[in-house]
Structure 1
Amino acid sequence: MLLSGGTGFTVLIIIFPHVALTAGIPPPTHVNVNCKNLETKVSWGYDELLPQTMFSVEINSSKNHLTAVTPDLQYNLTAFIWRSQWNYLDFYYVTVTALQGVATSEPAQSQTFTFNRMRVADIICKLDFPPVSVTADKSGNTVTFENPLITYRELNDSRNLKKAFFKFTVSSDQRDYVSECDLKKQSCKYDLPSSEGAQACVTLRGWLDYGNGVENVEFHQTDRVCTTGSESETKGAQVLALTLTLTFILLFILTLTPFCVLKGYKKKPIPKPSRTVLDVMPHSGPSYQAVVREDFNPVTVESKQVCSKNLEDQSLHDDDSAAEGGEGSRSGACENPSQTFKYTDGAILENSGDQQQEDGDLTSSEHGSEQEEQEEDQPMERSHYDRRHV
C-alpha cells in the first residue's frame, strides 16, 4: 500500500507539473488599466515581492497579441495601442503573471478597455477636447477650437479619413447646439445665435466618426468657457496698454533728468592723477632698494706736509738772500708737520693743534711708520760750505 501510495504521488507530479510549480507563488493583485488622454498604462500589486521576481505582461485583443517581461509593477501600453488605427479602435484586456525562477503564478486579468465608443467594454477611453475660445463680435459670439486631427497626429494614421468627420455639441445655459467640422480645415467654428446675448458661457464634447457606423473615438467634455472679447477689442487693449507704458517711461525720464543735472553741478568730481606708462606696464628690470642715509660721527683728518728731496734740489738754485732766509722758511715749512681738521656734516673745522686718533682704525704699527716717515722727510741742517757757490 505504501508503495502504491508513493507511486501514485510520483505519477501525480509527472502528470500535473504545473500545479506543483505554482503551488507556492501567489498571483498579482489589483490589475488596473488607466488611460489618460493618449497615455495608457496597466498596474498591479504583489505581496511577496522578491529581488528575483519578474512579471509577464500579455496584451490580448481580437486582432493583436503582445507579451513583455518587466520587474516593475506597471507597464506602459501607449506605444502598442497607438501603433495604428486597427490597434486603438480594437478591444483589449491584460493578464499579468508572476515569475520567480522556474516557478510561475496564476495569471491575473484586468478589465476590458477600448478607445472605440461603439464597442462594449468595461472602460471606454477618451481623448481631451482641443482648447476652446469664445469671442464676441458685432454679429454675436463665436466658438472656435483647433482641428482634432492637428492636435492629435496619432489620429492621422487611418485608412478611413476620407469619410471621417468630427461631430461636436455646444451646450449653453439655454440649449445644446450640434454641429460638424470639416477635417480639412485648420480650425472648427460655430456661431452662437444672438439670443445667447453679448456674454455666453458654453461647454463642448465631441466624437471622431469614421463614417462606417462602427468606429468612433470619443472626446471628454470641456470645462465651462465664457466670452473673452473680440480680436479687435483684444488688439485695442494691447495697444492701449503699450501706449500707457511708454508714456509712463517717458515722463519718468523727463522728471529724473533735471535732478541728475543739478546733482552733477553740485558735485564736481575730483580729478584723478593721470596714469603713466610705468603704472600700466609691469616693471621687468632689476629691482632696487632705497638707500638709507647713515649719520656719521665727526672724523679727525691729519694733513701732513712732507719736506721731500725735491725741495732740497730746488733750494740749491735759490740765491743767497733766499738761502739765508730759506733756512728759516724751510724749517718753518717743516715745522708743524701735521695739521688736524675735523669733518662734520660736510664742513671742515680746524683743531686747536691736538692730534686725535681714529676709532679702532689706526694700530700701533701704523703710528710707528708715520714717525719714521716724518724723520726721513725732515731736512738736514747744512753748513755754509755745503751750499753752491755762485
Structure 2
Amino acid sequence: MRIHIYISVTVLIVFQKSASEAVSLPSPTNVSIHCDSYGVEVRWKYPDLSQGVQFQVEVKDDYNIRNSNITQKLRLNISSLMFTTQYNRYFVAVTAVRGGEESKPTLSDSFSYNILSTTNIKCFLDFPEIKLSPKDGKLHVQFANPLQLYRNSPALRDLTDNLKYCIETEEENNDTCKTCEMTHNTCEMSIEFSKHRGEYCISLTGEIGLRSFNDERSCFEGDIRSYPSVTEYVYPVLGVVLTLLFITGIIMLLVSKYNATIKKKASNIFPDSLKISLLPSPPPYSPDKEHVDSNVRVEPKMPPEEQHLKEICDNKTEYPDTKDPESSDSEAKNPYGGNDLVEDEPYNQSEGYDCPHAPRQEMSPGDMVDGYGPKLLLDV
C-alpha cells in the first residue's frame, strides 16, 4: 500500500513540474544591435505578444555597470543608457516579463564606438552630405561640421576632440589631411589635380578621437579648370582709359592756363597802338552788286560792212526835211498829200526803201544769255 502511495506522489510531482515548464514565458530571439551617428537601437523578435508581455532591456559594460529599461515594443533606443562611448564596449540582455514571471534573458553581441576595441560589432559615424564644386582650378570639398551636427546625440555626448579627416583621390601621392575644430560651421578643403579629367572622384575618411567615420566616396563631373573672367580684362582697360582721360584733361587745363598767361604778358608788353592787332580781324568786305538796268537794249554783233551801211542809213534819217522841190510843190498843191493808191509805174521796192537790209545772221546758242536773248556787246 505504501508503495502505491509513493508512486502516485512521484507521478503528481512530475506532472506539476512539466505543467509549470509548459506555461513558462519563452525568451526573445534574434537580438540585434543597430548603431550610427545618432545612437544605438536594439531590436528582437518574440513569438506571442497577445498575453501582455513586456520586455526588460539591460545594458552593461566591461565594468559591469548596468542600466535597464522596460518596453512593450520589439525595439528600444538605448543611447541614453550608455556612457563614455569613446572607450567602453557594451552588451545587451533582453528578457520577457509578464506579471511576476520572467523568461530567460537573451544576450546580444558586444559592440563599441571605439575603433581599437575587440568587439563583434563596430559602430561608425557618418559624414554629412558632401558638396563638390570647382574653385580656382581645384576641386572644392565642403560638408557640415559633424562636431556641431552630432553634439546633441546621446551616444556621442561630451565630444571634446577635433575632427581629423583625409581626402584620397585616384592620383598617386595626392592624399590630403586636415583638422576641423568645433568652432567651425563647415569643414572644407580644395584638392588639386595634375591633369584634366572628365570625372573627379574622392574618398573621404575621418575620426573624432577614437570614434571613426564610414568611408564616403563622391564624384564630380565637369570641368574644374579656371578661366579668366571678362572683368579681369575690362577693369584694367577701363582703368587705363580713365587714367588717359584724366591726364589729357589736366594737360588741356594747363595748356589753356599757359595760353592765358602768355596773352596777358603780351598785352602788357606791346603799346596801346599795337594792341589793335591782337583783336580779331573783321570779316572781309563784300561790295554790293552792281545795279543793272533791266531795259537795256541788246543788239546782235554785226560785221564791219553791215555796221558801215547802218551808219549811212542813220545819217539819212537825221535830215528828214531835205526834199526834192518838185515833190514839195506837189505836196503843197494837194493838202492830203500824194495819192499813194495810184501808181503810174510799177512799184520798185528799192526806191521805197533806200537802205538795203543787212543779211540775217544766225545766232548760235553761245551768243544767247541764259537762253533768252543775245549777249550784250560792249566796246571798251
* Structure number with larger C-alpha Rg: 2
TM-score, normalised via structure 1 length: 0.47
